[in-house]
Amino acid sequence: KNEVEQSPQNLTAQEGEFITINCSYSVGISALHWLQQHPGGGIVSLFMLSSGKKKHGRLIATINIQEKHSSLHITASHPRDSAVYICAVRLGNEKLTFGTGTRLTIIP
Amino acid sequence: GAGVSQSPSNKVTEKGKDVELRCDPISGHTALYWYRQRLGQGLEFLIYFQGNSAPDKSGLPSDRFSAERTGESVSTLTIQRTQQEDSAVYLCASSFAGGGAQYFGPGTRLLVL
């Protein structure tokens, strides 16, 4: 079993829909990252959080340390949001352990 | 520079040859990470440098893989006697300090024939 599990693996939605991607992990962590990987392969760091909630534009990330769970939400989704979203956790040392990613496709 | 840069962007090599991949982190970033992403798979941690501390090499898949970093600047990842299973995108990231937000480079796409 992976230490980091994401769901769903694939998600297709209509433009404008509210999107939720989930990440669960099995061990104690010091921080959790949400990354976005575009079809060309480039990776962008969206959020790093260790508690609570962060918001940037239409993106919101939440984490519940007790439940070992994080969610990434996208409001008013747009086709340009189509990408692979990756959850990664830091296990106390500095290296990241990655989930397998959620492939999001937003249809106009 | 404005971001993390990597070179070459693409590399095709023959099985058994050595390759060297380069990463230039963001100026001032003390932490540098190498990752690998095989086709259709998730990211794998390879190695982590933080300042002058001994690097965390726990992710290197075999002794054919090695990496160096000069101070807090450029890093090179060397793969000796390449194998076909080494084909992947090799990504470098840097952060202001260990544990900070990581900024990724564009990657080097390696194909071993």
Residue A88 and residue A81: Cα distance in Å, rounded?
19
A97 to chain B, closest Cα gap in Å:
7
CB contact under 8 A, A93 and B56: yes
- Between A and B, how many CB-CB pairs are < 8 A? 55
Are the C-beta atoms of B76 and B22 separated by less than 8 Å? yes
Per-residue pLDDT of chain B (113 residues; tens, 9 = 90+): 579 999 999 999 999 999 999 999 999 898 999 999 998 888 999 999 988 888 888 889 999 999 999 888 899 999 999 999 999 999 999 988 766 788 899 999 999 99
B57 to chain A, closest Cα gap in Å:
10
Contacts of A33 in chain B (CB under 8 A): 101-102
Which pair of structure tokens corresponds to residue A57? 């534009």
The bridge status of strand B108-112 relative to strand B103-104 is unpaired
Give me the half-sphere count of Cα atoms (radius 13 Å) on the Cβ side of residue A20.
Answer: 6
Query: pLDDT tens digit string along B70-88?
Result: 888 899 999 999 999 999 9
Residue carrying the six token digits 């769901």: A7
Residue B103 and residue B35: Cα distance in Å, rounded?
12
Q: Does B49 touch chain A (CB under 8 A)?
A: no
